Amino acid sequence: FEGNALAWWKVYKQAKGGDAWLITVTWAEFKKLFFLQFFPRAEQERLKREYHSIRQTSTETSTEFMQRFLRLAGFLGAAAGTEEEQAKNF
In a shared domain, residues 59 and 31: no
In a shared domain, residues 55 and 71: yes
Provide the phi-psi class of 11: left if phi over 0, else alpha when psi is between -120 and 50, else beta: alpha
Q: What is the pLDDT along the chain (90 residues), one digit of tens a residue?
A: 899 999 999 999 999 999 999 899 999 899 889 888 888 889 889 999 999 899 999 999 999 999 999 999 988 888 888 888 888 877
In a shared domain, residues 7 and 18: yes
Task: For residue 13, give its domain range.
Answer: 1-38
Query: What is the model's pTM?
Result: 0.60
